[in-house]
């Protein structure tokens, strides 16, 4: 609890401002405000750290309300929120009596309503950074309205300036949360997406600020720039927000990363100042605990900042529900979740939990949820060695029910029925964590809010992290990803259902066709266009007709998984991507990796293996928290059953600890050992490097097997060029150049649209089959009879593959038939297909073998009746219950709809066995047509990859529909 002097201050303050001033005068000496001469030349004593004079800055604003005077609370996930009326003030000393100076009012005309937030300071304490939103303009379209901008105030020169001086550049995006980097640059969160927009042009798409995955708000991601507003660089490529960056003493950027890839988690991530080494840091699970009730707001951490001892301090409060909350300090150096420490080697925390609440503050939302110690809206650590914070604090005040007076939050008043919490009254205080006392610096005012205090004190600059990149990779606009083994699942061996294997060593020594994982598929996120871009789509584009922009995916390429499960592959830089593990048939095995990854140009990323998305006790994604790899690599001799060669065709040995992927990156394979003319060329022979590039095709060559030990496994290639026997009939989902040998580049994309790439498979002539010349899939799978009459036959297999549409903005019939549950059809008495199937069949009762014959019960007069029948199979009169007879005097059977499950499962090729088994097996007893060989391997691969990435109708909203 707070010491008695604080309780007394809180109570006396309720009587009026005069009493507050009296209390302040008593406490001033503890806040600074001395002459600065406490240290004498001969005293031999160090100056009292509590008495150090510090200039401070803070924000003053009216309590935020909307146009109806309802309170407006901070929404961490809406950084564009604009609450005009704020201003930045500076005090030369951290005392209540020091004169505040409004430093932002001179930027605009007197009385202008602007907004400010996100105060931060330079390491030398001489500059102040913040985000400022200029006043809104009248009669101006939304896109031309001012945006959040980064401004700087120099305490020495008294100059206030926008960092970006060009009005055109300033309007290109919202910029918030600025922080100085060790090299003088500024990191900030922004909707500019400057590099992503350039890549959109490379992809043949218009430039736009992509929306975050969950709503219509442009995604804020991290950027950096020089302090003159030039050289703006995009650092992160998340598909949702990256917010609240702060610079740690170790030189890394800590920020709040919003992950909406099949989840909804907001946790701490870190990155280097150049955007390399983006990784999960803390709280992926413990910062996303669901509230006690379904509709309650979720607690979020606001304005995280590093303490002098390395812990992270922040305000914990329910999002969009309160102006203030609890002060918490989190030990992220030693913990990756609240109760999970980093494994041995990462250090040991001094507590059982990472997160500690400094005070017992109630953050529950409800009519009678009071917080006796008040609430805190913001905090900033002081770096003067005193373990103190600058805080914005509102005391607890109540309104008693009888006279509507303000009363203190004593136990008596809190227990009084009918009391309500009064409006908050946030002032600026110095809070001493050690002593749990606080002293006022800026006195609170009714209807106003003082927040985001920062001290303009010099402190040690953060470590400068020198960028580490591979120049050759950077020149190709790629990075490199090295996975030690895909069979490493959170530090344990995973055989992906291949029960015969119990270790990586066993799988590595097995023949290729025995291994469960053969390839890795790289998948790219498709950015969601903003409203303006979506509204200007062409009339016959997919996006305009179907208005679906989320969960679209493109394929970047494939790479082989080496026998030990390792992968070392080039990946495109500056795009959000994820990966899938693929079997030899091109189908995903296991779950999709549901986190977006990124690399910067020239970046080399290392990871041990895979992880279970619901595994709480593994620090996957944080490099110092991962368990040791179970793939120990080479033991100093050749991998068992293998042989590899140097550039001259001489057998080569791996280095101790190398994975097979690392070994492959500087060796090659030869078809005939000892004959260098049969060796595959190096990708960079001059440097003796052979780093793999992805391929848009699925290609396998047995590069490892030593033919002296056992025969090599046959090669195969599932290429887009082989989608059809006739070249003119090919509908490839990728560019011609990307299909060439060694033609892959960072710009290659596989974009599959159903109408353009899948429907042609069903319509493609395949020569004579089953007595039909030049048969197509549609020939059999249609309701059109041999005479061309529509809806006069049952499609074979109850599956219709026509590309017809009921309307231009509806999906093709074949897509619906393949991917959704449909109703079984039979021919009615008029030989017309119907989905109304009788529950029983009248004579002749053998027309439909799967429908039972009707059992008719008759009364004494010979009239069909259902009296005494438990389950009447006939239509009955609603009033008399008499069986309804047709014109022939027969009872009318009831009808039903019989659902047929879809042949395909969107999101899983392996889950679409009902479809693919038709092309792998034939059962003469049950199958009327042998489908084996009707689709070639390349077509089946295209269908598999389309299903695995989601089976969406299209994956580029800007593409034109098939005409």
Q: How far apart are the first and last CA of the chain?
A: 73
Q: At what angle do helices 4-13 and 17-27 cross, to 10 degrees?
A: 150
Half-sphere exposure of 553 (CA within 13 A, CB side): 26
Q: Which two tokens stand for residue 608?
A: 């041990």
Whether pLDDT at 42 is above 50: no
pLDDT bracket for residue 831 (50, 70, 90): confident
Classify the phi-psi angles of 229: left when phi > 0, otherwise alpha if psi is within -120 to 50, otherwise beta: left
Distance CA 950, CA 946 (A): 7
The answer to whether 242 and 176 have CB atoms below 8 angstroms apart is no
pLDDT computed for residue 44 by the predictor: 37
Length in residues, the chain? 963
- For the segment 830-841, the average pLDDT, to the nearest whole number, is 90
Distance CA 759, CA 809 (A): 17
C-alpha distances out from residue 130 to 58, 149, 188, 317, Å: 10, 8, 10, 22
pLDDT bracket for residue 17 (50, 70, 90): very low
pLDDT computed for residue 32 by the predictor: 30
Q: What b/e string do you get for 656-667 counting C-beta neighbours within 10 Å, with b at 16 or more?
A: eebbbbbbbbbb
State pLDDT tens for residues 698-752: 999 999 999 999 999 999 999 999 998 777 778 899 999 999 989 999 999 999 9
The whole-chain average pLDDT of the chain stands at 90
pLDDT computed for residue 238 by the predictor: 97
Whether pLDDT at 651 is above 90: yes
Whether pLDDT at 948 is above 70: yes
pLDDT computed for residue 888 by the predictor: 85
What does the DSSP 8-state code read for residue 737?
Answer: G
- For the segment 597-624, the average pLDDT, to the nearest whole number, is 88
The answer to whether 108 and 166 have CB atoms below 8 angstroms apart is no
In this prediction the pTM is 0.91
Domains of the chain by residue range: 4-35+49-183+309-455, 471-729
Region of poorest pLDDT, from 440-444, 533-537, 544-548, 784-788: 784-788
- For the segment 388-395, the average pLDDT, to the nearest whole number, is 96
Whether pLDDT at 928 is above 90: no
Distance CA 915, CA 86 (A): 62
Distance CA 912, CA 903 (A): 6
pLDDT computed for residue 324 by the predictor: 96
3-state secondary structure of 937: helix
pLDDT bracket for residue 45 (50, 70, 90): very low
State pLDDT tens for residues 82-126: 999 999 999 998 888 899 999 999 899 999 999 999 999 999 999
Whether pLDDT at 51 is above 70: no
3-state secondary structure of 215: coil
Handedness of CA 530, 531, 537, 543 (dihedral sign): positive
- For the segment 575-590, the average pLDDT, to the nearest whole number, is 96
pLDDT computed for residue 325 by the predictor: 96
In the numeric block, the tokens 């950077």 are attached to 474
pLDDT computed for residue 772 by the predictor: 63
Region of poorest pLDDT, from 509-513, 860-864, 937-941: 860-864
Whether pLDDT at 657 is above 90: yes
In the numeric block, the tokens 């509102």 are attached to 394
Q: Which two tokens stand for residue 236?
A: 């992160």
Whether pLDDT at 303 is above 80: yes
Whether pLDDT at 37 is above 60: no
Q: What b/e string do you get for 567-590 counting C-beta neighbours within 10 Å, with b at 16 or more?
A: bbbbbbbbbbbbbbbbbbbbbbbb
pLDDT bracket for residue 769 (50, 70, 90): low
Handedness of CA 571, 572, 577, 583 (dihedral sign): negative
Distance CA 843, CA 856 (A): 11
Whether pLDDT at 18 is above 70: no
pLDDT computed for residue 8 by the predictor: 29
Higher pLDDT, 676 or 270: 270
Q: What is the DSSP secondary-structure string of 288-309?
A: -PPPSSTTSPPEEEEEEEE-TT
State pLDDT tens for residues 410-429: 999 999 999 999 999 999 99
Distance CA 270, CA 553 (A): 26
Whether pLDDT at 130 is above 80: yes
């Amino acid at each position: 609890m707070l010491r008695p002097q604080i309780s007394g201050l809180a109570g006396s303050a309720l009587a009026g401002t005069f009493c507050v001033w009296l209390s302040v005068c008593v406490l001033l000496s503890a806040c600074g405000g001395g002459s600065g001469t406490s240290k004498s030349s001969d005293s031999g004593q160090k100056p009292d750290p509590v008495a150090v004079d510090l200039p401070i800055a803070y924000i003053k604003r009216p309590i935020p309300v909307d146009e109806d005077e309802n309170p407006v609370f901070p929404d961490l996930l809406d950084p564009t929120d604009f609450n005009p009326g704020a201003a930045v003030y500076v005090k030369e000393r951290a005392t209540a009596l020091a004169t505040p100076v409004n430093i932002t009012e001179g930027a605009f005309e007197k009385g202008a309503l602007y907004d400010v937030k996100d105060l931060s300071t330079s390491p030398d304490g001489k500059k102040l950074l913040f985000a400022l939103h200029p006043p809104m303009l009248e009669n101006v379209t939304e896109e031309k309205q001012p945006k959040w901008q980064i401004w700087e105030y120099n305490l020495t020169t008294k100059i206030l300036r926008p960092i970006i001086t060009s009005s055109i550049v300033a309007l290109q995006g919202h910029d918030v949360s600025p922080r100085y980097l060790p090299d003088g640059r500024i990191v900030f969160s922004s909707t500019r997406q400057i590099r992503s927009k350039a890549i959109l042009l490379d992809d043949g798409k218009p430039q736009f600020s992509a929306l975050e995955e969950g709503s219509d708000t442009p995604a804020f991601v991290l950027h950096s720039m020089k302090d003159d507003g030039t050289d703006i660089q995009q650092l992160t490529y998340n598909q949702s927000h990256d917010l609240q960056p702060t610079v740690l003493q170790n030189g890394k950027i800590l920020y709040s990363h919003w992950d909406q890839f099949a989840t909804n988690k907001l946790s701490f991530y870190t990155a280097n100042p150049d955007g390399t080494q983006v990784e999960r840091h803390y709280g992926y699970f413990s910062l996303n605990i669901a509230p006690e009730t379904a509709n309650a707001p979720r607690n979020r951490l606001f304005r995280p900042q590093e303490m002098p001892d390395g812990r992270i301090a922040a305000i914990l409060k329910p999002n969009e529900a309160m102006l203030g909350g609890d002060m918490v300090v989190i030990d992220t150096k030693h913990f990756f979740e609240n109760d999970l420490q980093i494994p041995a080697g990462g250090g040991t925390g001094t507590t059982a939990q990472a997160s500690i609440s400094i005070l017992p503050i109630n953050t529950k939302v409800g009519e009678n949820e009071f917080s006796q110690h008040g609430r805190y809206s913001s905090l900033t650590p002081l770096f003067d060695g005193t373990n103190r914070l600058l805080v914005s604090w509102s005391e607890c005040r109540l309104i008693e029910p009888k006279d509507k007076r303000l009363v203190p939050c004593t136990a008596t008043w809190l227990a009084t029925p009918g009391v309500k919490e009064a409006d908050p009254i946030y002032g600026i205080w110095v809070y001493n964590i050690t002593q749990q006392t606080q002293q006022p610096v800026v006195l609170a005012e009714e209807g106003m809010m003082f927040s985001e205090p920062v001290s303009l004190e010099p402190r040690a600059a953060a470590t400068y992290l020198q960028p580490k990149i591979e120049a050759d990779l950077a020149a190709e606009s790629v990075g490199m990803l090295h996975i030690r083994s895909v069979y490493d699942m959170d530090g344990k061996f995973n055989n992906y259902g291949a029960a015969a294997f119990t270790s990586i060593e066993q799988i590595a020594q097995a023949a290729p066709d025995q291994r469960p994982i053969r390839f890795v598929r790289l998948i790219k996120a498709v950015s969601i266009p903003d409203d303006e871009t979506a509204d200007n789509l062409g009339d016959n584009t997919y996006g305009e007709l179907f208005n679906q922009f989320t969960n679209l995916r493109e394929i970047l390429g494939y790479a082989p998984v080496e026998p030990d499960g390792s992968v070392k592959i080039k990946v495109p830089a500056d795009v959000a991507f994820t990966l899938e593990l693929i079997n030899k048939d091109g189908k995903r095995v296991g779950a999709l990796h549901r986190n977006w990854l990124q690399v910067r140009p020239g970046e080399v990323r290392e990871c041990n293996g895979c992880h279970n998305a619901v595994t709480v006790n593994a620090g996957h994604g944080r490099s110092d928290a991962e368990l040791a790899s179970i793939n120990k690599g080479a033991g100093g001799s050749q991998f068992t059953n293998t042989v590899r060669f140097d550039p001259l065709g001489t057998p080569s040995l791996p280095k101790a600890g190398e994975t097979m992927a690392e070994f492959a990156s500087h060796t090659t394979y030869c078809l005939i050992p000892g004959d260098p003319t049969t060796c595959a060329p190096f990708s960079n022979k001059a440097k003796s490097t052979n780093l793999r590039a992805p391929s848009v095709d699925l290609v396998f060559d047995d590069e490892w097997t030593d033919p002296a030990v056992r025969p090599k496994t046959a090669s195969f290639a599932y290429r887009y060029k082989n989608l059809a026997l006739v070249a003119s009939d090919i509908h490839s989902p990728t560019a011609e150049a990307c299909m060439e040998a060694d033609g892959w580049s960072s710009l290659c994309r596989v974009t599959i649209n159903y109408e353009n790439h899948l429907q042609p498979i069903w319509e493609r002539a395949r020569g004579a089959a089953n007595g039909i010349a030049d048969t197509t899939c549609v020939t059999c799978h249609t309701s059109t009879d041999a005479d061309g009459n529509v809806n006069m036959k049952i499609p074979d297999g109850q599956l219709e593959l026509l590309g017809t549409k009921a309307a231009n903005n509806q999906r093709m019939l074949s897509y619906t038939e393949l991917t959704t549950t449909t109703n079984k059809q039979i021919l009615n008495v008029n030989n017309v297909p119907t989905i109304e199937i009788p529950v029983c069949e009248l004579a002749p009762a053998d027309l439909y073998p799967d429908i039972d014959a009707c059992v008719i019960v008759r009364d004494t007069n010979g009239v069909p009746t259902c009296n005494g029948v438990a389950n009447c199979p006939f239509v009955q009169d609603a009033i008399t219950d008499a069986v309804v007879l047709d014109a022939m005097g027969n009872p009318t059977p009831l009808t039903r709809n019989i659902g047929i499950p879809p042949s395909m499962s969107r999101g899983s090729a392996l889950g679409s066995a009902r479809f693919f088994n038709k092309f792998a097996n034939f059962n003469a007893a049950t199958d009327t047509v042998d489908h084996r060989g009707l689709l070639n391997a390349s077509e089946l691969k295209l269908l598999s990859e389309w299903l695995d990435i989601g089976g969406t109708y299209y994956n580029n909203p800007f593409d034109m529909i098939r005409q």
